[in-house]
Structure 1
């Protein structure tokens, strides 16, 4: 299940296809939605039937390895957010200053963090990209007081809100589609009550793709 959370709480809960009907979500989208592309299977000029997909060098190497080792390594299908998400995600509260939040992201080596209110409920998403938005930053020669005022702003003034969120049982392909459509670095993972239980990022999905031994991403 997908949700959208803002400072007033959850404003949407439903399927991925209905996300784009919520006007408030357009504030965090970065680009035009990608339309699914239909591909036509190749047809063999000799047999007139659908041709098998070309065998890649990587595929041939994996096949040779499997034969030499007595069989393919065990594969574990990854289909849900819960399979690849990062649990215990670092969060920031909306009352923190921009400077404090920046220091937290830096010390944790993170590019983003869900923003929560005093009750621990999701209200937004803070990203380094948004903190470094040129439209938000003062001019380089601006007085130091201007820069100080920026750094002393509360996180709520610079966070992305409302923000999409997902539950742990969502199909990974649907999450990947939303990340492509919004160009967000990831999505908070929330429980039914809006409490943040983790985070799923592009890096989490890519890490699953390159994991060794090979994994079947889609069952």
Structure 2
């Protein structure tokens, strides 16, 4: 189950499928496929054209790989957010200045942090990318600071998940919404954890292996 939190509070609650009908917080420009020909790079090659040009080698490679895989693979365990989330939260306030937020990320060696208001309500998420649009950082030092607060640069609204959300669904939200982490809330909407890309990668390489096909 996912919830979208904005400055005024929760504005959506529903499943991953329902979330897909909501507009994204941020969107990147579409990536143009490229193909290398010798020392030249040719742009604008459609994926199907690339496969056709190689004589269908991609499909053959996939089929060969599948043929080598054992058919009786034992599925590993499934993981929920509460099993891998970070419980020691590093947060910033929406009224903090951008320099304080940057130092918070750097000092704790993290790439993003949930943003709360004075009532401890989740209102957004701030990342290194957000802050670098307002900061000039050279040699690890902040220079030429613009008078901005976290509320001016944070991404909002923000998608949060419940503790029992399948982490594969959280990973899909990260990809589709272009975010590096998802806050975790309890049934009362209180911020209690955070799942980053690194947390999911660690779960994938855990022994016994994570089941990614169920």
TM over 0.5: yes
Check 1:190–1:52 CA distance in 2 against 1; reply closer, same or farther (3 A cut): same
Match of 1:27 among 25, 29, 34: 25
Rounded Cα–Cα distance in structure 1 between residues aligned with 2:87 and 2:109: 16
Q: Residue 214 in 1 paired to residue 208 in 2?
A: yes
Whole-angstrom distance in 1 between the partners of 2:118 and 2:7: 11
8 Å contact kept, 2:25–2:158:
no
Report the counterpart of residue 45 of structure 2 in structure 1: none
RMSD between aligned alpha carbons? Answer: 3.2
1:186 matched to 2:181? The reply is: yes
Aligned pair count reads 178
Q: State how far apart, in whole Å, the 1-side matches of 2:203 and 2:168 are.
A: 13
Q: Is the 8 Å Cα contact of residues 85 and 200 (structure 1) preserved in structure 2?
A: yes
User: Any unmatched runs of 5+ in structure 1?
Assistant: 33-38, 45-50, 57-62, 64-71, 141-145
Q: Report if the CA contact (8 A) 2:25-2:177 is conserved.
A: no
Give the distance between the partners of 2:181 and 2:165, measured in 1 at CA. Answer: 14
Does residue 200 of structure 1 match 2:190?
no
Q: Which residue of 2 aligns with 1:130?
A: 130
Cα drift, residue 87 of structure 1: 1.2
Q: Is the 8 A contact 1:78 1:217 kept in 2?
A: yes
Provide the residue aligned with 2:48 in structure 1: none
- Superposed, which structure 2 residues align to 1:1-219 within 5 Å? 1-23=1-23, 26-30=24-28, 53-55=67-69, 77-133=77-133, 136=134, 147-148=144-145, 150=146, 152-211=147-206, 213-218=207-212
1:137 shift after superposition:
5.6
Equivalent residue of 2:188, what SS?
A: coil
SS at match of 2:69: coil
The secondary structure found in structure 2 opposite 1:87 is coil
1:46-85 deviation line (CA, Å, top 9, x unaligned): xxxxx964139xxxxxx9xxxxxxxx9xx97132111211
Q: Secondary structure at the match of 2:68?
A: coil
The structure whose residues are more often strand, as a share, is 2
Does the 8 A contact of 1:28 with 1:161 survive in 2? no
Q: Which runs of 5+ in 2 are unaligned?
A: 31-58
Change (3 A) 1:29 1:169: farther
Q: Deviations over 1:104-147 (max 9, x none)?
A: 111111100000111111000000011123xx567x9xxxxx93
Q: Detail structure 1 runs of 4+ shifted over 4 Å in the superposition.
A: none
Tell me the CA shift for residue 29 of structure 1: 3.7
Q: Is the 8 A contact 1:29 1:181 kept in 2?
A: no
- Relative to 1, partners in 2 of residues 1:14 and 1:89: Cα closer, same or farther, differing over 3 Å? same
Q: Name the TM-score, length of structure 2 as normaliser.
A: 0.72
